[in-house]
Amino acid sequence: MGSSGFSWKLPDHPKLPKGKPIAVIVLDGWGEAKENEYNCIHIAETPTMDSLKKGAPEHWRLVRAHGKAVGLPTEDDMGNSEVGHNALGAGRIFAQGAKLVDLALESGKIFDGEGFNYIKESFETGTVHLIGLLSDGGVHSRLDQVQLLLKGLSERGVKRVRLHILTDGRDVLDGSSVGFVETLENDLANLREKGIDARIASGGGRMYVTMDRYENDWSVVKRGWDAQVLGEAPYKFTNAVEAVKKLRAEPKANDQYLPPFVIVDESGKSVGPIVDGDAVVTFNFRADRMTMLAKALENENFDKFDRVRFPKIRYAGMLEYDGELKLPRHYLVSPPEIDRTSGEYLVHNGVRTFACSETVKFGHVTFFWNGNRSGYFNSELEEYVEIPSDSGITFNEQPKMKALEIAEKTRDAILSRKFDQVRINLPNGDMVGHTGDIEATIVACKAADEAVKMVLDAIEQVGGIYVVTADHGNAEDMVKRDKSGKPQLDKNGQVQILTSHTLEPVPIAIGGPGLAPGVRFRTDLPDGGLANVAATVMNLHGFEAPSDYEPSLIEVVDN
């Protein structure tokens, strides 16, 4: 124990043994909801997950995965991968980016901070560019925060603003982009009346332009760069509302996949390329899908694509996106300080760890799990394996994704007996659920269930323990519902397909031959959430959890 009294050493659990290999499986986007035709998990053949459910209430239960249980501002906020995996890995509930930005805007502190002062130096002579996801989804960004940021800029002497918008349709209904752009245009018109030269300069759908993650496909970021920085795109319009409406009709893209466009003036010139002396703010608070652009905007040495021009700008993120890489150097709001995560503790206590997913979710069980920190804590005890994801497709085209490959690698890791913990994310329910394709999502859920089986079979062979859970809902409800729970219809009388996550709780199941006989879920934590899982897993490894962790979900009763 150091002089501060802090120690990484975890006390031994009074009853549970050490040395049982544990598989922690996170099914992405796998919530629990009523059984009906829009519940793809229910419709799909999922014998493995169904059999786990039979262990209720001692070995199967539900946990909260949305709202305040995962550090989001309100109970109306659906869960998401970032906050879900943060809670799973850190064992405590931290006020998350969405909330921290709200507080900084409310108090006005955002406008006194280092990041804002830094960009302010461009107000007099340069343009301030705001780049980010335009919706009220609250997963990566929120429109009301952008509105308050614009207000703050206008009150503090900004002369020229350009918005580079990314349309959503993934955390909100497809087609809602038009309304968000109209709202923004209205705000910008008000700013223009006050003498501020404020316009939308470019746009594109989030999944096709800019918001790739974990370096799956740099061409996505390049498309955005060309439009935002160089002012070049295959589609040119003089008005952003018209741009979104027309591109939705022809080439009939949905909001997530709108092709890149730039707004041009009467002479056909782009109204807002990013040039020397300008300031740029990326207004997403969530890191995973802004990190690649942040690198392109900030790094002198960059070889992922030809930037053509690398303007000398003052760049600030809404938040710091990577604490380890210190990326970006300047930011408007400090991120949650997620320290002392369970991964770090376990490594300090000699637990050898294997983590695996495919590219599109790889950072979830590494970066997010470890408190938004990239890299290993101890490369001698940890191995992180990334299975390359398909790129350039929408995942309903390949709904099985790499579930089998993830499971095979994990099975091999378990059977090698080189690891005490294997931790994986199975993306299917979520990634295919986001496409809104019900048939494909059913195939996806079946594939995830088969992958779970393969891992559980390996755990059986080595006498280990499994913990199967999820990070938030998605595939269990694919329709937008009204307040009474009935499917909502659009103006053509069609049900509105829900591409986003949900507010549903998620299952957690424990078992395996290594599970000590008296272990069962406690009954005194009915509101338990994802943050309670870390202490649970630490117990199963034979350790007591740190005293400030959310309590363990299990108890050990004498038989």
28 binds Mn ion per the rule CB under 5 A:
yes
Q: Which residues contact 149 (CB under 8 A, 6 or more apart)?
A: 105, 110, 130, 281, 283
- For residues 189 and 531, what is the distance between their CA atoms, to the nearest angstrom? 44
Asked if residue 203 lies in contact with residue 243, where contact means CB atoms within 8 angstroms, the answer is: yes
User: Residue 522 annotated as binding?
Assistant: no
81 binds Mn ion per the rule CB under 5 A:
yes
Exposure class string for 149-187: b at 16+ Cβ within 10 A, else e: bbebbbeeebbbbbbbbbbbbbbbbbebbebbbebbbeb
Answer positive or negative: Cα dihedral of 251, 256, 259, 263. positive
User: Residue 348 annotated as binding?
Assistant: no
The whole-angstrom distance between residue 467's C-alpha and the CA centroid of its chain comes to: 21
Helix axes 291-298, 218-228, angle to 10 degrees: 60
Which residue number, 28 or 77, has a Cβ lying nearer to ligand 3PG?
Answer: 28
Instruction: Tell which positions 215-234 bind ligand 3PG, by CB under 6 A.
Output: none
Report the candidate in 169, 154, 157, 152 with the shortest Cα–Cα distance to residue 204. Answer: 169
| Binding partner of residue 330 among ligand 3PG, Mn ion, none, CB cut-off 5 to 8 Å per kind | none
Binding mask 152-171 for ligand 3PG (x = CB under 6 A): ------------------xx
Instruction: Indicate if 4 belongs to the active site.
Output: no
Catalytic residue among 81, 176, 389, 500: 81
Q: Which amino acid appears at position 170 of this protein?
A: R
User: Residue 81 annotated as binding?
Assistant: yes
Which residue number, 424 or 456, has a Cβ lying nearer to ligand 3PG?
Answer: 424
Which range in 191-199, 295-303, 425-433, 445-453 contacts Mn ion by CB under 5 A? 425-433
289 binds ligand 3PG per the rule CB under 6 A:
yes
In three-state secondary structure terms, 105 is: helix
| Shortest distance in whole angstroms from residue 227 CB to ligand 3PG | 20
User: Residue 287 annotated as binding?
Assistant: yes
Which residue number, 80 or 228, has a Cβ lying nearer to ligand 3PG?
Answer: 80
Which residue number, 81 or 532, has a Cβ lying nearer to Mn ion?
Answer: 81
Edge to edge, the sheet with strand 128-134 lists 235-237, 261-263, 197-205, 160-167, 128-134, 279-282, 314-319, 331-333
Peptide bond into 73 cis (omega under 30): no
469 binds ligand 3PG per the rule CB under 6 A:
no
Number of residues written out for the chain: 559
Tokens of 264: 């041009």
- For residues 26 and 22, what is the distance between their CA atoms, to the nearest angstrom? 13
User: Residue 140 annotated as binding?
Assistant: yes
Number of H helices, E strands in the chain: 16, 17
Instruction: Tell me phi and psi for residue 332, to 5 degrees.
Output: -85, -30
Which residue number, 31 or 272, has a Cβ lying nearer to ligand 3PG?
Answer: 31
Give the CA distances from residue 544 to residues 11, 81, 514, in Å, rounded to whole numbers and listed in that order: 5, 26, 18
| Shortest distance in whole angstroms from residue 28 CB to Mn ion | 4
Instruction: Tell which positions 119-158 bind ligand 3PG, by CB under 6 A.
Output: 139-140
| Shortest distance in whole angstroms from residue 163 CB to ligand 3PG | 20
User: Residue 330 annotated as binding?
Assistant: no
Instruction: Tell which positions 74-113 bind ligand 3PG, by CB under 6 A.
Output: 80-82
Asked if residue 476 lies in contact with residue 32, where contact means CB atoms within 8 angstroms, the answer is: yes
| Shortest distance in whole angstroms from residue 216 CB to ligand 3PG | 11
Which residue number, 430 or 550, has a Cβ lying nearer to ligand 3PG?
Answer: 430
- For residues 328 and 294, what is the distance between their CA atoms, to the nearest angstrom? 6
| Binding partner of residue 402 among ligand 3PG, Mn ion, none, CB cut-off 5 to 8 Å per kind | none
User: Residue 164 annotated as binding?
Assistant: no
User: Residue 361 annotated as binding?
Assistant: yes
Q: Which of 226, 288, 322, 430 touches Mn ion by CB under 5 A?
A: 430
| Binding partner of residue 262 among Mn ion, ligand 3PG, none, CB cut-off 5 to 8 Å per kind | none
What residues line the site for Mn ion (CB under 5 A)?
Answer: 28, 81, 430, 471
- Bind-site residues for Mn(2+): 28, 81, 430, 434, 471-472, 501
What residues line the site for ligand 3PG (CB under 6 A)?
Answer: 28-29, 80-82, 139-140, 170-171, 289, 430, 434
Residues with a known catalytic role: 81
